[in-house]
Structure 1
């Protein structure tokens, strides 16, 4: 106990507060968030202390371990976005399990929360489910350096549309064996069908859907999503099919590559099963966005435009409107939380894979924007692939109002070569396709490059 006390004297006020709450007899101080540092392009340090986390887990105190992770990552996000995030709650395992159980009773989705925390010496996995006490697994062969190398190799095989199936299945299995396989028996035993990942640095931009057991992709087994921290999310259930879509975008840009399929993408979304409005090019402005949402509280906002999650400060990441760029620190000015948008979709964004600042921006998108959930891509998919996926997604969302399941069904349809451009009635009635888009065939769309990068962030239901 004396050794533990000496170690704890060196940790932050945050860690002292958490530990004091959970039974170690030390002098505690009130819970106090650490003030953001001066503006900088360097990655904020996580307040998560691997040594303290290990001690909690060695003592089988998973509750305190999760609180330490939640608050540590929340403060890292606050430093990155240079401001306070909405929640100051200290979340406990009991509350997480109650929330998951309540959701299961309301919509039949049986969800599990997986914390994956890379450390220099091993990977810590914590599984929280509605039905059983949380489970901890320490993966000693997954040292951070080894894990990040495997993840990087996996992403390289996925983002190349010409890579062979054997390549991405094998590289995906190497990550799967460390991240998923240790928990698989519990997931199957509890009949889990939705996985929510709360991931540490280096893992936040893993294309989870394309992880593989060597034969099947992870998305064929579970619907998937990522979150920055459980205590930052809005878990109130609403029926998304009762809202309408505001689809906005640009096909032409002054200093960026054109997106010739965007006009068809926008019209295909709002001219079929979904009610809504679409606006293109000169009408894609912040002023018009706010004007339209003042007229009707569109619950889904779809941006078909360039967006970047970039290295450096939060100001380097942005969404491109027709006449301006909105940086990630300015995204709150779009007022997507007044009233709250249920789903924000960025259909043509790009993330600097493997960059820690870009990872934070991507994983925190829903929280920073004020939306309950977001869908964004880890890499820029060509115009045709994006059009095919988005058209299929909105069809699925009308039939499967659980957002994560709608995305899952879309990705499965693509990998099984069930999605077409030429013969898709939702697209066919929305305008003529550019030649390079019309020539994209079924076989190509089955490659994970076209579907695995699209990721649900935030509330999966």
Structure 2
């Protein structure tokens, strides 16, 4: 079986040695963001490849191939047969449970979260644990790219609080020999809070302002957030991360139909087509879309706007799978950048934030939200905003929507 799956990998044009080289290029401590020697020693990445092959006949079993590829040592592969109708039902139920604030019953082994964990991760659960893997680059084909993996549950813990991870629509986007992530020194921080015909986003100015205090960058808000600002990215080689907090929409038809709303209208994602070429030797480290439902596209491009940002040449991109409360989103990203500034790899910073949300470690004191270390995240919250925070953000709705594409390190 293992030989068969390895042959399938080669048929797809993905060489295992190439994948291993990608991993080896990022675990060199001298080139990592991680500053703590103990963290470096325990940092163990791997690729998890998921290949779902739908049988044309819905009445027959479809195939799911799961392959774990470490930077060294043997790869492990498992093939399972699954009922496509039941699998589709579970995926729909799972997405509905997570994105609608429906109560989770993780103690129930028949819940969609538990059953999908058993299907997608379970066959290699022991291998991942025994090899002490900490970080996974998940390469999933069509049908699995929009799964909120963070909210899968093994009966004891959420997948997203156990592992740092990212998704990629194709391993071909992961360049061999590309250097590991470096400390992000200067960013472009932009957002819009008022729109014509769209709901306002009152937390955006707070979010951008707080991130600007954590990471050096140029800030553009509302009327100053223009098309020229984004077009300038191809020329400003010193900008190594981008954070956009605004409305966005992904429409069928690719980049030309997908929009990011600015302070002076909207811009098509096709505008980023030249960015990859212009920044090929100096790619943007991280492109974050702190906006509504930016990681979910159509059947032909499941990873939506964030996937298009990744294709524009960024090493990593962050988007959301569903519409998330703006207070929770702002708190999430402020805490995320604070951890990045302390030397956490990108995927590990997201894992840490997910764990803090899931364990109710975001605290309301007076009119301010505080993180687990007692630092202020957001000040001067309104009565309504305070009420939302008191209701807690431990449900996966608030922390499982944000997904990272590309490099998790």
TM-score (norm 2): 0.84
Cα 1:230–1:442 change in 2 (3 A) is: farther
Secondary structure of 2:139's aligned partner: strand
Secondary structure of 1:441's aligned partner: helix
Question: Structure 2: 5+ residue runs without aligned partners?
Answer: 33-39, 56-61
1:420-444, Cα deviation, whole Å (9 max, x unpaired): 4623344446xx4344333322552
* Matches for 1:263-342 after TM superposition, within 5 Å: 263-271=205-213, 273-291=214-232, 294=235, 297-333=238-274, 338=279, 339-342=282-285
1:15-50, Cα deviation, whole Å (9 max, x unpaired): xxxxxxxxxxxxxxxxxxxxxxxxxxxxxxxxxxxx
Secondary structure of 1:257's aligned partner: coil
What is the CA–CA distance in structure 2 between the aligned matches of 1:279 and 1:59, rounded to whole Å? 52
Residue in 2 aligned with 1:446? 394
Secondary structure of 2:381's aligned partner: coil
Higher relative contact order (CA 8 A, sep 6+): 2
* Matches for 1:66-215 after TM superposition, within 5 Å: 66-69=9-12, 90-106=13-29, 107=32, 108=40, 109-119=43-53, 120=55, 121-140=62-81, 142-161=82-101, 163-166=102-105, 170-215=111-156
Cα 1:172–1:260 change in 2 (3 A) is: same
1:114-164, Cα deviation, whole Å (9 max, x unpaired): 111112222121221123222221111x23333222111101000112x21
For the pair shown, the structure with the greater C-alpha radius of gyration is 1
Residue in 1 aligned with 2:37? none
Of 186, 208, 217, which residue of structure 2 is paired with 1:244? Answer: 186
What is the CA–CA distance in structure 1 between the aligned matches of 2:99 and 2:160, rounded to whole Å? 17
What is the CA–CA distance in structure 1 between the aligned matches of 2:335 and 2:246, rounded to whole Å? 18
1:37-83, Cα deviation, whole Å (9 max, x unpaired): xxxxxxxxxxxxxxxxxxxxx582444422444xxxxxxxxxxxxxx
Higher percent of residues as helix: 1
Secondary structure of 1:258's aligned partner: coil
Deviation at 1:398, TM superposition (A): 1.2
Cα 1:310–1:291 change in 2 (3 A) is: closer
Of 398, 406, 423, which residue of structure 1 is paired with 2:369? Answer: 423
Of 329, 346, 349, which residue of structure 2 is paired with 1:386? Answer: 329
Cα 1:242–1:114 change in 2 (3 A) is: closer
Cα 1:394–1:319 change in 2 (3 A) is: same
* Matches for 1:9-88 after TM superposition, within 5 Å: 60-69=3-12
Higher percent of residues as strand: 2
2:193–2:203 Cα contact (<8 Å) kept: yes
Secondary structure of 2:314's aligned partner: coil
1:114–1:127 Cα contact (<8 Å) kept: yes
Deviation at 1:220, TM superposition (A): 2.1
Secondary structure of 1:104's aligned partner: coil
Residue in 1 aligned with 2:339? 396
2:97–2:104 Cα contact (<8 Å) kept: no
What is the CA–CA distance in structure 2 between the aligned matches of 1:285 and 1:363, rounded to whole Å? 20
What is the CA–CA distance in structure 2 between the aligned matches of 1:329 and 1:291, rounded to whole Å? 15
Residue in 2 aligned with 1:364? 307
Cα 1:291–1:355 change in 2 (3 A) is: closer
Deviation at 1:314, TM superposition (A): 4.1
Residue in 1 aligned with 2:58? none
What is the CA–CA distance in structure 1 between the aligned matches of 2:312 and 2:377, rounded to whole Å? 29
Structure 1 stretch displaced more, 198-207 or 433-442: 433-442
What is the CA–CA distance in structure 2 between the aligned matches of 1:217 and 1:60, rounded to whole Å? 32
What is the CA–CA distance in structure 1 between the aligned matches of 2:104 and 2:338, rounded to whole Å? 28
How many aligned positions are there? Answer: 379
